[in-house]
Amino acid sequence: MKTNFILPLVAASSVLLAGCFGGDSNSKTSVRVVHASSDAPAVNVGVDGDTVVSGADYKQAAVLKPDAGTTSIAVDGILPGGNTTTVIDTDASLRFDIRYDVIAVGKVGDQTIEPLILTDDGARDSEDSVRLRVAHLSPDAQDAVGGPVEVYLTAAGDPLPAEASFSFSFKESVGPIEVPAGDYQVRVAIPGNPPTVVFNSGRLPLSAGSDLLIGAVDNTVFGSAPISLLVVNGSNTTEILDADTDAGVRAVHNSASPTPAVDIYLNEDPDGTPAASNIAFGETVPTAATTGAYVPLSTGDNRIVVTATTVTSSSVIDATLDFANGDIRTVVAAGTLADGIDALVFNDNNRRIATEARLRVIHGAVEAPSVDVFVVPTASGGAGATLIGNSTPVLDNFAYGTDSGYLGVAEGDYVVFITSDDGATELYKSPSLALDAGGVYTAVARKNDAGGSVATVTLLDDFVAP
């Protein structure tokens, strides 16, 4: 690892977790636990056998105040159904005058998850400076690059200098260093002549007096950059995405007959060229709406106009949506022509978790204002032999226009039932669906115009063959 410090990084703020336990203040130390394993589930943190933090998710942190001395720290992954499994169990000898960072790094899927423990005495030369430590916490970047990455810290807008500020590999860290406040730019590059920049922060303000831990973590949000920056300030965190990440949208035609096929226009009047044409009921844009497939958009306000393909002068949806950097959304055109077409907008989260399938259901069928949804393990005889029986609905009185969020489901084969909200009338029964750990699945409920059951679903994400 080589270092050549030039300039610093970014101040941060966000809501997180905190815990305190045991002893008196004169005997305590500080242990910060950071969840930086991108495919791990939410975790509970235990100290000496007691759970002190519950449900900390990826890119969250908790500051604990245990007694100094020998302490056992355990991190337990939360499995579907509420069971847990220990993914980290380590003993540490803690001093009262040292601050500790216990960072969960690596991957659950390939069994490389482990604790990275960093120590810090907290000393600083100036209360007005920014105190900075930087850690490489991204196995995806390590795999993509195959070696160290170079980090360039410059004033905002400056050209890339001839020499990197420092270079490091996965699980290495740099600092602490102190630097003045100001506006800066961070670029991460693959070494070469010239280097290949794979992350660019854009302009970043740096606040005086900050004491920051900066982690390069796997990018699970959007865009081609392999990393994002996780900025940890005490127990607060914020994420910095690559400045060129932009945003993405996908659409589902969910308004049943007599709504005709539609055209979709992005950021232009409907007398221009549509971004997608002749989209029929039940179809999606992009056509193969697999995980990660979106129509790219610039950040900021984006106008989305939907018109009947045969009547371009009359729009059924005309909405302006504000997209931040990295936003990805699913827009469902639902409702009826008679009562008005609704633009239902849902935020997507495509992070894959190695211990569970993530299933999301969107209720886009205005014909059934409230339903129950059951997810039942497939019986040995297949979908035909699978019955609701005494199952409890995973979504009870599930209202039109809402979604379930991402439900953690154990890997296996399931049949999805949609019923009236009293459970008495079956509206839809799926074939047997294989839900794999690490998969992301979305089903949009709609009216079935093809006959048979009253309802059906439009499938997105990993339900769709790539």
152 and 57 assigned to the same domain:
yes
Q: Could you tell me the residue range of the domain that residue 289 belongs to?
A: 246-348
CB-CB contact of 273 with 263 (8 Å): no
223 and 252 assigned to the same domain:
no
pLDDT beyond 90 at 190: yes
Euclidean distance between CA atoms 74 and 62, whole angstroms = 13
One-letter amino acid at 105 equals V
* pLDDT level of residue 463 (50, 70, 90 thresholds): very high
CB-CB contact of 244 with 223 (8 Å): yes
Euclidean distance between CA atoms 109 and 466, whole angstroms = 21
pLDDT beyond 70 at 228: yes
CB-CB contact of 61 with 32 (8 Å): yes
The secondary structure of residue 25, as a DSSP letter, is G
* pLDDT level of residue 10 (50, 70, 90 thresholds): very low
The predicted pLDDT at position 17 comes to: 39
- Among residues 304, 330, 332, 301, which one has the least CA distance to residue 318? 304
Euclidean distance between CA atoms 136 and 3, whole angstroms = 14
Q: Looking at mean pLDDT, say which of 16-20, 279-283, 360-364 comes out highest.
A: 360-364
170 and 254 assigned to the same domain:
no
Domain count of the chain?
A: 3
CATH of the domain at 274: 2.60.40
Euclidean distance between CA atoms 362 and 425, whole angstroms = 19
Euclidean distance between CA atoms 153 and 165, whole angstroms = 6
Domain boundary among 348, 382, 397: 348
254 and 335 assigned to the same domain:
yes
224 and 357 assigned to the same domain:
no
Domain boundary among 207, 240, 273: 240
What's the mean pLDDT in 42-57?
92
135 and 37 assigned to the same domain:
yes
Summarised one tens digit per residue, pLDDT across range 107-155 is 999 999 999 999 999 999 999 999 999 999 999 999 988 889 999 999 9
pLDDT beyond 90 at 466: no
328 and 432 assigned to the same domain:
no
The predicted pLDDT at position 218 comes to: 97
Residues with Cβ within 8 Å of 304's Cβ and at least 6 positions away in sequence, in order, are: 249, 251, 264, 265, 266, 317, 318, 319, 320, 321, 331, 343
Summarised one tens digit per residue, pLDDT across range 59-78 is 999 999 888 898 888 899 99
344 and 358 assigned to the same domain:
no
Euclidean distance between CA atoms 379 and 358, whole angstroms = 21
65 and 153 assigned to the same domain:
yes
Give me the sheet containing 407-409, strands edge to edge.
Answer: 407-409, 357-363, 440-447, 455-461
Domain boundary among 327, 348, 369: 348
Structure tokens at 305: 């106009």
Torsion sign across C-alpha atoms 408, 143, 150, 199? negative
What's the mean pLDDT in 260-267?
91
89 and 217 assigned to the same domain:
yes
The predicted pLDDT at position 26 comes to: 62
- Cα 225 to Cα 151, 215, 222, 321, 432, distances in angstroms: 14, 15, 8, 24, 36
Task: Determine the longest span between alpha carbons in the chain, in angstroms.
Answer: 76
What's the mean pLDDT in 360-377?
96
127 and 262 assigned to the same domain:
no
Question: How many Å separate Cα 436 from the centre of its chain?
Answer: 18
* pLDDT level of residue 5 (50, 70, 90 thresholds): very low
Euclidean distance between CA atoms 388 and 417, whole angstroms = 8
CB-CB contact of 130 with 206 (8 Å): yes
- Among residues 465, 423, 420, which one has the least CA distance to residue 445? 420
pTM value is: 0.90
Residues with Cβ within 8 Å of 223's Cβ and at least 6 positions away in sequence, in order, are: 241, 242, 244, 245, 246, 326
336 and 409 assigned to the same domain:
no
